[in-house]
Structure formats: structure tokens, C-alpha cells
Amino acid sequence: VILNKIIDALNKRSDLGGWTVRHQLVRGSQVYAVPNQTEALREVGIEQYRIDVLRHTSTAEGKEGVGSGNATLLPGGDIESAIERAVLTAGLVANPVHTIPAPAPLPDVPLVDAELQRDPSSVTKALMEQIQAAAATHRDVQLTAAECFGEIHTTHLVNSRELDAEQEATQVNIEFVLHSRRVDTDVESFAEMRRRRVADLEIEHEMERRARCTLDQFEAAPAPAWHGPVVLRREALATFMGGGVLHTLGSAEAKYAKTSSWEIGKSVFRHEVKGDPLTVWANRCIPFGISSNRFDQEGLPAQRVELIRDNELVAFAASQRYADYLNLPPTGAFGGVEIPPGPTSASALLAEPHVEVIQFSWFTPNSITGDFATEIRFGYLVENGVRKPIRGGQLVGNFLDALADVHWSAETGMLGSYLGPHTARFNELKIAGQDR
Amino acid sequence: MGKNNVRYTSIILHLQEASMTELRLLPDMAELRSSLGDIVDRGQQLAPGFRVLLSSKHGLTIQIDNREEHVVEAAPSAGTVLSAFDGRTMYERAVVGFDREKVQRAAHDLVRETVFANYTPADESAQRGDFITPMQIDPADLSVQEKLDRCRELHRRVTGRDPRIVNSQVRYVELSEHSVFASQSADLAQRIQRVRLFLVVIVAGENGQIQYDYISKSGGAGWEVLNFTEEEIEKLVESAIALLNAERIEPREYQVIAAPGVSGTICHESFGHGVETDMFLKERARAAHFIDRIVGSPLVNIVDDPSRPGEYGSYFFDDEGRMASATQIVENGIFRRGITDFYSATALKIPRSANGRRQDYSRKAYARMSNTYFDAGTSSLEEMLAQVDQGVYLDKWSSGMEDPQGWGIQVICHYGHEIKGGRITNRVFSPIGVSGYVPDVLQSISAVSTGLRLDAGTCGKGHKESVPVSSGGPHLLLKARLG
């Protein structure tokens, strides 16, 4: 009802060049556990109407321009004053002319866990019990904290070009901590995962892996100084690829702002490529991908956009606005990162010697230069037939230089916002660690 | 501790005075507030300790660069949190908006969910009052047009200074927060105003590489704190251009002087996150085993103080109704106490501090920092530089990550400069990662400068639960592994 009233009010305005309304609804359940008890149980609801408007304006030099404004209305809010606020704001600026998306067929991207959609409260509680049961099978570690969020996100988007689209998606977020103590030494592993479906969390498998890492930390030595092959697998690889460099440099917005020097048809690398050639898709169609959707915030349909083919930039990920500015096809939001399977088996990529990083403290590369220096929370030094646990030290390098000398596995996996080889061997990375 | 308590008292008096005429809640929030006494009374009948938080957050971002302008209203959050505790579990309903009937119904459902009567809350002194961030130029009194014009003027001041500048960006962010807390013993309301203004310069080198640098002003304040001098702008342009020739640092241990922002990030990630007592409860914090033990050099004093005037992380009461006051975390190198939320303080049977904070009404409260800093020392920067023959001056931080159990530290600096023979040279390194074992890093602090400065930031718990904070300190002379 409110959405229709907003649309009616917007349609009555004669001073608008376009408008979009997005009704967003979130309902969810949260369970928090501390040792031996439930810390908190929460039921949560969020609802809002985001209104975006465009107005025809003119620049100080008299050139034709467009201004944009927005307002977000909460249930019970005053529709007229929210629209007026957005319209006033739009009248204050004169940007190059741009438009809003026209209606287009929407792909049917699977985004829903049916059980979670039906009963988030029960599913979230059951998930917490599953985590607790899986942890209990590992006698040498204790689950000292866990959080489970189950949410249903509903979006209804309508714009002045008669685009009218709806989508529903589920999301499950978990965190847990495994702890172990021997004499006066404490160790822990912290896991954090986000998926659309509960089954994709693979709780038992993940718990097994984390329990092993937790106990291996008792033997961990400081990371050594290292210059050579570094292997990333599964979550660590997904973290690395999702660090934001591809998203920034591959975006039309960054190109327009001159913070990306990438050019279509040219190599994205500054040096010779020594490893497997790089191909990347910006993909919003990954089934149950955490960055997937049927349409993005502007209403642009989900696409699988070939961003980079054999090291050369093919396209920028472009919202309607920046597509109009740069005369590019609009692709919409970036979505997840997809890499094609590599030519080498994962087992071959694990050849000695190498360092495997299991978990970063926080991988935060400079998204414009690609430079990074990130602490290794936990990993292994693999040489001479020994897999030796390590922690501390910093992995140091440049994201693009690293991708110019990498070999990808033939085996793939879907890890939230990443679909592609589940193992990568970077041939020449540096670790700032203790002298050997 | 004594000094900080005096400071706290004076602020509250000042603000109570100021608040008498100034605090205007949003209309629907004010209307619901008038019914909270009744809702709390009814809730208390079945759930002793029942309490209500009304929380509204909204904001505005203005961004101007050489090619376009954006004015964006941040998505607001507004909702009511109803909380009931049975002695083991906190039960909560987070209801969108401030509709009295919806809130009454949710409160009714919540207290019938389980048996709460076995829990007896601790006696708390009565707290009443309305509070507002002191401001000379309240953003609410400026039109969007006026704010936009101020940003445009600043953008004009940086434009055309050097041909290598390919873009420059002004980014203004204002966050306004209204909250009301009601319980059997409290009736509190506050308006917190936070502002930030960034100036970013993007430069391109001859071989196409792109670099940038930025400066920012911020505070729990109004527009009066958002002024840049000509010297600051000129220095920004120079540092952005210098980054085009930045080198990667040779990884090893260095003698380091940390600028105040970097000092603050070290503090935040070491004895900030590491002493949030919900982490004690979850057996995630090594500091839990170090109370009243030495954790750093005697020069190290660390404080968290939400009542510190004008800072970005300041507030008058936390999201669990605790009045803001300073907590001395480390005193002369000895760890004294952590910062708490209600749940962990109750479970651990330790005194509460005013650090129970929520990202917004849809999230639970955790023990969170506010304004966290190393307290000032007695050395001058010149005296500290004179002690460094070969080292690095860490100019600017960009991110940090905690490791409360392993006591590892990760601070990423956007850049730093070489120190040679007691002087800062033009040789610049970027980025620089600072890592090490927390007690080793704190123990290595051999000089602490006079004066301190805090930088605004956004703090997450792990990778979520964002809250506005500040952290800072004086200059520190220490040893750390850089890479």
C-alpha cells in the first residue's frame, strides 16, 4: 500500500526526469552462544522505502545536466516530505546526463533456502545446534562462542520507465570460535562464513578443518622470511580474490574518476605474465552466490560479464550512470568473482616447497595500486616432507603482480562470492618473517 | 583515573545545562518516549530488569570531485529494542520504528517467552537527563545547499595546484544519532552529532601509475571543526606526489616513531579489542589472564573514554543505559581492567563500564570501544627523533586488525618516511605493515611525546558490527617488525 502511494505521488510530479523506488524488507532471527549457555536470542525486522529521483538541471555554463537525490522512508513516514527532500537535493547538482534502466528480462537466479525462508527462527536455532554438535565431536577443542543469523531479504523495485521487479533471497551468517588449552598455552580458530543456503556452509567439514588448525597451532612457529611459492586454498583464496582490487579497477566508476588506469583491449598487468593467463567474470548469476541477485539496486538484470580474457580487459562493470557517461553497455553491480578452471590438478600445485596461508588477519590491499602487506594469522611451511604450522609474519606483495604469476587448479568450488579453482599457487610471493 | 573522572563530571554538568532547551527528539520517538514508563512498568512485572532502547540513526554524504557531485542521504535506521534477561540469556525484540502499539505488542510477547522472575537485577542509581553534543555550527541548522557550497569551496582550493593531479575529491559525512533509554531506574535521551570531512588528492605518474593521499577532519561536533589550512592542503598535494616514488620497505625490525594516528591504531588493536570483556567470557582474550600484571613499558597508559569532549567516538550514555565515563585500561604498563557490556560484566561479576554499544537497533550490544588512546608523556618529538639513527616515521594508518587470543598485531600504514641520523628524510615507503607480539611491541616503547591527537574511524567486531570510534595518542618511540 505504501509503495503504491509513493508511486502515485512520484507520478504526479512534473519536475522529475525519472525515479526509482525500492521497498526493502528484512526479517530474521539471531542466536548467540557463549560457553555452556545461550547468550542472546533476537527476532529482527527491518523495512524501508528508498526513493531515488533524477531532475533535469543545468551547469553554471548553461550546459544540460542531471541532478540526483534520494530519501529513505520508514513505515509511517511522511511520503510527500521525503519526496520533496529528494527532489530539492536533485535540483542542487548538475552532473552529465544519465538515465535509469529500462525494463529487461530478469534471469532466474536461485537465491533462496526454502526452509530458512519458511521459518528463520527454527532454522537458525537448529543451525546453532548443528554447530554445537559438530564441535562436540572434537574432544580436544571447545566451542567458546558462536553466532548464527538467518535472514530473508525481500526487494520490490519500481521505476518511472515501468521496470517492476521483485526478488527474495535468504542469507545465513555464522561465526564460531574453537579454543583449546594445554598447560598455560591457549589457541583458537575463528571462522566466519556467509552463504545463501545452510547446506552450503558444510558445517561438519568446516569444523573438522578448523579443529585440526586449532590443535596445530600448539606447534606453530613464527613465520619464516620467505620468497617463493605461496598456496591459497578455498576460504583463504576467496578472501584474496575478494579483496577489492578487481572490483575497483574493473569498475566504470573508477575509470570515470581516473583512479583506474585499465583500458579495454589492453593487458591489466604491468609486467610479463609468467603463470596461467587470467580470465575473470564479474558474475551476479552464480547460483546461491552471496553477491548474486536477479537485479541490482538500480534494477539492472544480473549478468555474467566477461571482465578480463587472457589478461586483457574486455569490459568494465558499469552501473547505468557510468555506462551512460563512458558510452559503455550497462552491466550493473559487480557481483561475485568467477575464474575458469586451471590446467593443473590441485595436488600438483601442492608440490614442495611452499607456504600455505590458511587465514589472514585481514586482507586489505590498496584497491588502486594493488599493494598489500597482511599478517598471516595461521599457515603451514611445507618442505622436506614436513608440514610445519606457522603464524605471524606478513605476506607482502602486489595483487596484480601475484595474479601475473599464478597457477590455478582444475578443481573448483563455490565459496560465497567466489566461484573458481579452489587452489592457487602463487609462484613468487614474499613473507616478511623471521630470518631462517 | 582521578583526572579523567573530574573531566567527565565537568562535561556532564555542562551538557545537562546545554540540553535543557536544545534536545528535540524525532516526533514519533518523542511520542513513544512518553509511553515508555508504562511499557517498562508492565515489562518489569514479568521480567525484572526489563528495558527499552529507542534508536534512530541517519546521515548525509556529499562527495565532489573534478567530474561530478553526489549528495546522498544515508539509509536511516530507526527502531525499538526491548530486552529481558533471565540471568543466563538476553531475550530481545527489535521492532522497526516507534509505533506504540507495535512496541507494546512486542513487549507483551517478549516477557511471556520464558520465565524471567528468577533474575534479580542489581540496584542502580536513578539516571535522568537529556544530552546533546555541544556544537557551534550545528549541521541541522545548515541547508544541504550550504553544505554543498562549503564542499565546493574546499574543492576549488585544491584544484589546479599541480598538473599531476588527475582528480581531487571532497567527501563530507555527517551522522546524527538520537537515542532514548528507559528502565526502572533510567530515563535518558541523547542526540549525538558526528561529522567528517575528507580531502583526497589522486595523482598519476609518467608511467601511468596512480597514487593518492588524503587528510581528514572530524569530531563529535559541528562544522566548526571542519577547516583545512593552506599549509595542510599544500602538504597533502606534496605527499600524494611523493607517493609516486614510494618504495616497498625491506622487511625487518626497525626503530619506529609512530605518529598519533598510528599510535592510536596500535592501541585500538592491542589493548582496545583485546580487553573487550565479552572476549574474556568467550575465552578469546589473553589479557584476561594478565589483570594487574605488566603488559608494557612503564610509559604506557591506555584509556577508553566516551565522555571525552568533541571526539568522534563520544556519547553520554551507552546503548545499555550506562553513563559515560573514562576507563583506565593500562596504568604505567600494568593492565588494570577491561571495557564491558552488560552481559559480560554480569556473567564475569566485574564492574560495568559504559561500553555496551550496538551497530543499530537490529544488532545486539557488545563490549565496544569509544575513544581509545595512549595517554601523553613528557618527551618532545625532536628528542625522540634524536634517539633514532636509522628508522622509520610512520605517518598515516589505513587499517588494523585485532588478535586478542594470539596477541598478534596488524596495523597497515598508508606510508612512512625514512629516519636517518635523527632526521625525517624524503624517502617514502608505501604501504607498510606493522606486525609483532603485543607485549613485545608495548614493552619496546621507550619514549612518549607530550600532547595527543585522536583520529576518527569505524570499528568492527571481527568483520561486522560497525560503530564510530576514535583512537589516538601522542608520538611513540618503539621497535616493530615492518614489511
Give tens-digit pLDDT for A159-193. Answer: 999 999 999 999 999 999 999 999 889 999 999 99
The dihedral region occupied by A370, where left means phi > 0, alpha psi between -120 and 50, and beta the remainder, is left
Of A39, A188, A394, which has the smallest distance from its Cβ to B433's Cβ? Answer: A394
Preceding omega of A353 cis (within 30 degrees of 0)? yes
Per-residue pLDDT at B20:
40
pLDDT of B441-452, one tens digit each? 999 999 999 999
Q: What phi, psi does B3 have (nearest 5°)?
A: -60, -40
B289, closest residue in chain A (CA to CA)? A184
Contact A306, A373 (CB under 8 A): no
Contact B432, B482 (CB under 8 A): yes
Task: Say what the ipTM of the complex is.
Answer: 0.93
CB contact under 8 A, B71 and A89: yes
| Whole-angstrom distance, CA of residue A424 vs CA of residue A403 | 10
User: At which residue does the C-alpha cell 538515465 appear?
Assistant: A99
What residues of A are in contact with residue B286 (Cβ under 8 Å)?
A: 186
pLDDT tier at A92, thresholds 50, 70, 90: very high
CB contact under 8 A, A40 and B405: no
Cell of B232: 595542510
Bridging pattern class, strands B408-420 and B371-374:
unpaired
Per-residue pLDDT at A76:
86
pLDDT tier at A435, thresholds 50, 70, 90: confident
Taking the CA of residue A187 and the nearest CA in chain B, the distance in Å comes to: 7
Per-residue pLDDT at B21:
42
| Whole-angstrom distance, CA of residue B216 vs CA of residue B196 | 7
| Whole-angstrom distance, CA of residue A360 vs CA of residue A378 | 7
What residues of B are in contact with residue A41 (Cβ under 8 Å)?
A: 89-92
Of B79, B89, B211, which has the smallest distance from its Cβ to A40's Cβ? Answer: B89
3-class SS letters over chain A: CHHHHHHHHHHCCCCCCEEEEEEEEEEEEEEEEECCEEEEEEEEEEEEEEEEEEEEEECCCCCEEEEEEEEEECCCCCHHHHHHHHHHHHCCCCECCCCCCCCCCCCCCCCCCHHHHHCHHHHHHHHHHHHHHHHHCCCCCEEEEEEEEEEEEEEEEEECCCCEEEEEEEEEEEEEEEEEEECCEEEEEEEEEEECCCHHHCHHHHHHHHHHHHHHHHHCEECECEEEEEEEEHHHHHHHHCCCHHHHHCEHHHHHCCCCCCCCCCECCCCCCCCCCCCEEEECCCCCCCCCCCECCCCCECCEEEEEECCEECCCECCHHHHHHHCCCCCCCCCEEECCCCCECHHHHCCCCEEEEEEECCCCCCCCCCEEEEEEEEEEEEECCEEEEEECCEEEEEHHHHHCCEEEECCEEECCCEEEECEEEEEEEEEECECC
User: At which residue does the C-alpha cell 521487479 appear?
Assistant: A165
| Whole-angstrom distance, CA of residue B54 vs CA of residue B30 | 10
Task: Find all residues with CB under 8 Å of A188, minimum gap 6, and list them.
Answer: A144, A177, A178, A179, A180, A214, A217, B283, B284, B405, B406
Per-residue pLDDT at A322:
98
Preceding omega of A105 cis (within 30 degrees of 0)? no
| Whole-angstrom distance, CA of residue A171 vs CA of residue A150 | 6
Q: What phi, psi does A131 have (nearest 5°)?
A: -65, -45
Cell of A392: 605471524
Per-residue pLDDT at B368:
98
Taking the CA of residue B311 and the nearest CA in chain A, the distance in Å comes to: 26
Per-residue pLDDT at B468:
97
Taking the CA of residue B124 and the nearest CA in chain A, the distance in Å comes to: 22
Taking the CA of residue A256 and the nearest CA in chain B, the distance in Å comes to: 8
CB contact under 8 A, B282 and A373: no
B413, closest residue in chain A (CA to CA)? A373
Contact A29, A124 (CB under 8 A): yes
Taking the CA of residue A325 and the nearest CA in chain B, the distance in Å comes to: 10
| Whole-angstrom distance, CA of residue A84 vs CA of residue A94 | 18
User: CA nearest B476: which of B455, B454, B431, B446?
Assistant: B446
| Whole-angstrom distance, CA of residue A65 vs CA of residue A56 | 6
Contact B216, B456 (CB under 8 A): yes
CB contact under 8 A, A46 and B252: no
pLDDT of A304-337, one tens digit each? 999 999 999 999 999 999 999 999 999 999 999 9
A41, closest residue in chain B (CA to CA)? B91
CB contact under 8 A, A258 and B28: no
More confident residue, B274 or A281: A281
Taking 50 as the pLDDT cut, the residues of chain B under it are 1-21
Dihedral sign for Cα atoms in the order A392, A396, A402, A407: negative
Cell of A171: 542469507
Of B202, B248, B251, which has the smallest distance from its Cβ to A259's Cβ? Answer: B202
Bridging pattern class, strands A37-58 and B90-96:
parallel
Per-residue pLDDT at A388:
97
What residues of B are in contact with residue A225 (Cβ under 8 Å)?
A: 251
Q: Provide the β-strand partners of residue B54.
A: B80, B180
Task: Find all residues with CB under 8 Å of B408, minimum gap 6, and list them.
Answer: A361, A375, A377, A391, A392, B435, B436, B437, B438
pTM (two decimals): 0.93
Task: Find all residues with CB under 8 Å of B246, minimum gap 6, and list them.
Answer: B211, B415, B428, B429, B430
Average pLDDT value for residue range A230-255: 98
Cell of A422: 579452489
CB contact under 8 A, A92 and B204: no
Per-residue pLDDT at B76:
93
User: CA nearest B100: which of B41, B36, B190?
Assistant: B36
B145, closest residue in chain A (CA to CA)? A92
The packing angle between helices B144-158 and B230-242, to 10°, is 60
Interface test with B, best of A188, A194, A255, A269 (most B CBs within 10 A): A188
